[in-house]
């Protein structure tokens, strides 16, 4: 029932009544929740729904959607079991099942003479595009022999009547889910258990490592460009006239920014005079929500980065190009201060950078890599250049230096080996000229002694200790004089 204020009352009185009704509603809802929490028959799924309500109110949309997926997945496994009936054995069995899951991957590849077959059956490009309404971009991919989605392939087969096997080769394989994917499910379940314990619905959180065996985290396999390919790609970006895409990709390669952080940049975040860039927001794609603006990944992801002259000059070139585009487009362009935008000035979707990487890598003559691989390349380059792991972690926005150590351990080992070789080479170079070094040192000491003796005689000192006392007195006098 909707509350309505009494008629013929002042606005001040209405505001007071609204506050009273709001407090009353809040107390009633809190009472309902507390009563519900005492329900002995609550199943895991029922309690998880209440956890989702709390999560939606207190956390980001991306985290809420992740939790919701986990809750729905657990529904058929442990969802119907009463919360208090869950034992470590039941949960361990559930976790073990998670670790043995397989991911079904379907790859659809056009046959070698795909285009010729379509034409032989009377389906030219224009007819497919405008008469059958086949998506043009994917059709171009298929002409080039690149993989397409099963959904698109089925649409083409349905509208042309050509058998599937005549146009495409289907490959099915089942692979293990990534460790992080499985661990994310367990992490959410552990959080739900922790919340249930705080509500005193269970005595202990049996989802935690105190009761459950967790597999060891495998070493992270990261992909980076080789030194030669990184140099080649960097030069390509510098010489490119496509500033719209070369500039953001350069920020990933040289600065090590995430693609969401690049998309979230505004011109107010860049100080050209001090050569600094502030990361204060990120764009991300969330299921059921589309592209949303959110806070950086962690507190340490809020950071200020010093930029090199090359990056500053690149950003200045890009800004000049963008201003000319704004002038050319006139009212069509909505200038909201975003650095990287769509044609009309709206914020840029992070996936745009991903889609362009294949073309850029091919044109630069380097192996295909994604935007995040460029971030790894930037980190590896910094470490091999002698930058400390703590500084690298700070520039990347890692919560702890140990995160950087875990990811780039192999780079640190290489750098450590280089340091050992450098030390040996330096010591060997000194050892190769021991007599010369000793002779030079002796000559220097002898010269200093003769100069000191001559100075003593000039000042009238016959005792060396008295001369030293005089030098100390003179030094202290100079200090007092300088402090006045």
Q: What is the per-residue pLDDT across 192-234, written as a single tens digit (0 to 9) for each? A: 999 999 999 999 999 999 999 988 887 767 788 888 999 999 9
> CA nearest 157: which of 146, 170, 145?
170
Residue with tokens 């208090």: 84
Predicted pLDDT of residue 383: 79
Q: What is the pLDDT of residues 298-357, one digit of tens each?
A: 666 788 999 999 999 999 999 999 999 999 999 899 999 999 999 999 988 888 898 899
Mean pLDDT for the stretch of residues 384-413: 71
Mean pLDDT for the stretch of residues 378-397: 82
Quote the CA–CA distance of 251 and 376 in Å, as a whole number: 12
More confident residue, 406 or 128: 128
- In this structure, are residues 71 and 45 in contact, taking their beta carbons and an 8 Å threshold? yes
More confident residue, 60 or 325: 325
Minimum mean pLDDT range among 6-10, 58-62, 104-108, 240-244: 6-10
Q: What is the pLDDT of residues 66-97, one digit of tens each?
A: 999 999 999 999 999 999 999 999 999 999 99
Mean pLDDT of the chain: 84
Q: What is the pLDDT of residues 407-442, one digit of tens each?
A: 666 555 565 555 556 555 655 665 665 544 444 455
More confident residue, 39 or 137: 137
- Determine phi and psi for 49, rounding to 5 degrees: -65, -40
Predicted pLDDT of residue 149: 92
- In this structure, are residues 174 and 102 in contact, taking their beta carbons and an 8 Å threshold? yes
Quote the CA–CA distance of 13 and 77 in Å, as a whole number: 54
Q: Is the pTM of this model over 0.75?
A: no
Residue 249 exposed, middle or buried by CB count within 10 Å (0-12, 13-18, 19+): buried
Confidence band of 444 (pLDDT split at 50, 70, 90): low
């Amino acid at each position: 029932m909707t509350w309505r204020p009494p008629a013929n009352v002042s606005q001040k009185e209405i505001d007071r009544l609204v506050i009273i009704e709001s407090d009353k509603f809040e107390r009633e809802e809190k009472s309902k929740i507390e009563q519900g929490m005492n329900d002995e028959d609550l199943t895991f799924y029922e309690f998880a729904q209440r956890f989702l309500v709390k999560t939606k109110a207190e956390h980001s949309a991306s985290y809420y959607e992740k939790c919701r997926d986990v809750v729905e997945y657990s529904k058929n496994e442990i969802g119907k079991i009463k919360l208090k009936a869950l034992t470590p054995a039941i949960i361990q069995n559930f976790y073990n099942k998670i670790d043995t899951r397989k991911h079904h991957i379907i790859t659809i590849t056009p046959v070698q003479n795909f285009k010729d077959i379509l034409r032989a059956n009377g389906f030219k490009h224009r007819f497919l595009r405008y008469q059958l309404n086949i998506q043009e971009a994917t059709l171009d991919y298929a002409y080039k022999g690149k993989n397409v989605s099963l959904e698109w392939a089925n649409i083409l087969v349905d509208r042309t009547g050509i058998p599937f096997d005549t146009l495409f080769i289907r490959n099915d394989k089942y692979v293990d889910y990534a460790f992080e994917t499985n661990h994310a499910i367990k992490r959410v379940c552990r959080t739900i258990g922790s919340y249930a314990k705080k509500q005193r619905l269970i005595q202990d959180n049996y989802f935690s490592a105190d009761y459950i065996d967790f597999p060891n985290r495998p070493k992270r396999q990261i992909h980076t460009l080789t030194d030669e390919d990184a140099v080649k790609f960097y030069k390509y970006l510098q010489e490119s006239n496509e500033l719209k895409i070369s500039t953001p990709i350069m920020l990933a390669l040289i600065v090590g920014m995430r693609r969401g952080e690049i998309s979230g940049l505004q011109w107010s975040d860049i100080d050209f005079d001090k050569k600094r860039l502030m990361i204060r927001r990120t764009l991300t794609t969330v299921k059921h929500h589309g592209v949303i603006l959110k806070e950086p990944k962690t507190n340490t992801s809020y950071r200020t980065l010093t930029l090199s002259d090359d990056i500053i000059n690149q950003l200045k070139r890009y800004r000049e190009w963008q201003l000319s585009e704004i002038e050319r487009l006139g009212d069509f362009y909505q200038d909201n201060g975003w650095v990287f935008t769509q044609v009309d000035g709206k914020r840029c979707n992070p996936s745009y950078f991903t889609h362009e990487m294949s073309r850029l890598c091919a044109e630069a003559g380097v192996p295909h890599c994604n935007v995040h691989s460029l971030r790894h390349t930037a980190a590896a380059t910094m470490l091999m250049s002698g930058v400390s792991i703590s500084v690298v972690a700070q520039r990347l926005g890692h919560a702890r230096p140990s995160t950087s150590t875990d990811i780039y351990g192999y780079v640190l080992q290489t750098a450590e080996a280089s340091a050992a070789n450098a030390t040996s080479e330096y010591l060997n170079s000194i050892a190769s000229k021991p007599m010369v070094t000793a002779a030079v040192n002796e000559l220097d000491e002898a010269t200093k002694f003769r100069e000191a003796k001559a100075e003593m005689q000039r000042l009238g000192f016959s005792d060396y200790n008295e001369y030293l006392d005089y030098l100390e007195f003179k030094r202290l006098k100079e200090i007092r004089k300088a402090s006045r």
